[in-house]
Amino acid sequence: MSGFEKYGPWALIAGGSEGVGAALAHELAGRGLNVALVARKPGPLAEVAASVRAAYDVEVLAIEQDLLAEGAVDSIAERLGDREVGLLVSNAGANTYGSEIVTSDADRAQMVIDLNITVTAALVRRFGLPMQERRRGGIMLTGSLSGFAGAAGIGFYSAAKAFVHNFAEALWVEMRPYNVDVLELCLGLTRTPAMERLGYQFDAPGVRASDPASVAREVLDHLGDGPSWYPDGFGDDAEKRSAHPRGPIVEAANAHYRSPAA
């Protein structure tokens, strides 16, 4: 396992049926961890689980679960039984709903908030406490550069990812004395099925996008380098979006999200 014993024997990946979540499942299995995958759609979930089982000598548990359903986290814990989760990856929460704020559908907007905020907090409380008591483990939360500046049409998503960013920083400080690593994986544009469904044109001129497999390798190499990691050098973009005054920054972010490539 070479250094990953701290995060074993099981990694739990919420949102593990495609994109970065699936890539992390393969990379973690390759590093010797058993993986428990949680996703809502049974087909893609079963496909990823089968591919990991076929490629690595580890145990794989597929948990079909809608994370927005009542009691979802309790249900996941029940399915895990006495398996010891040493690494929690909260990867669900892609931008699946775009709308202006005041004309948005309240239920769909609430889903974005709950998936990124309510579910993330619940997963951390449920699986982070045993890590604290054992004094070892790791927690990875998937964030986004969108959380560094608001933009028209993705206000709920960018605000929710801003929560993830600050939540990860606070958790990082709190868990350090207990030998539990915390890292926000702050993604820039990434070639995932979720982004493809939103219509992103990855091959358009000037588009810069990360590959999920390379993201998984890079972030796991830096799991202990919290509180945040920006793959493929996207930290420069985060720094620019953190600047002041805010007006020009927000206008630039808005122009980016409304560009023909997106």
How many domains does the chain fold into?
Answer: 1
Residue-range definition of the domain harbouring residue 20: 5-257
Write the DSSP symbol of residue 90: E
Q: What is the model's pTM?
A: 0.93
Tens digit of pLDDT for each residue in 6-50?
999 999 999 999 999 999 999 999 999 999 999 999 999 999 999
- Around 144, how many Cα atoms within 13 Å sit in the side-chain half-sphere? 27
Q: Place 1 in a pLDDT band, splitting at 50, 70 and 90.
A: very low
* Of residues 141 and 95, more confidently modeled: 141
CA 194 to chain centroid, in Å, comes to: 13
- Name residue 159's amino acid: A
Mean pLDDT confidence for 215-227: 97
Mean pLDDT confidence for 161-179: 98
pLDDT over 50 (residue 261): no
Nearest to 201 by CA among 186, 191, 212: 191
124 inside domain: yes
Percent above pLDDT 70 for the chain: 91
User: Across the chain, what does the average pLDDT equal?
Assistant: 92
C-alpha distances in angstroms, 168 versus 3, 39, 139, 164, 178? Answer: 23, 22, 9, 6, 15
DSSP 209-230: -B-HHHHHHHHHHTTTS-SEE-
What gap in Å lies between CA 142 and CA 50, rounded to an integer?
Answer: 24
SS3 category, 239: helix
262 inside domain: no
Residue 170, token pair as written in the block:
């606070």
56 inside domain: yes
216 inside domain: yes
Mean pLDDT confidence for 192-199: 62
Looking at residue 239, which CATH number applies to its domain? 3.40.50.720
Q: What is the pLDDT of residue 257?
A: 73
177 inside domain: yes
191 inside domain: yes
Q: Place 214 in a pLDDT band, splitting at 50, 70 and 90.
A: very high
Query: Which alpha helices (DSSP H) does the chain contain, by range?
Result: 19-30, 42-55, 72-80, 106-113, 119-134, 155-175, 193-197, 212-221, 235-241, 246-257
Mean pLDDT confidence for 220-231: 97
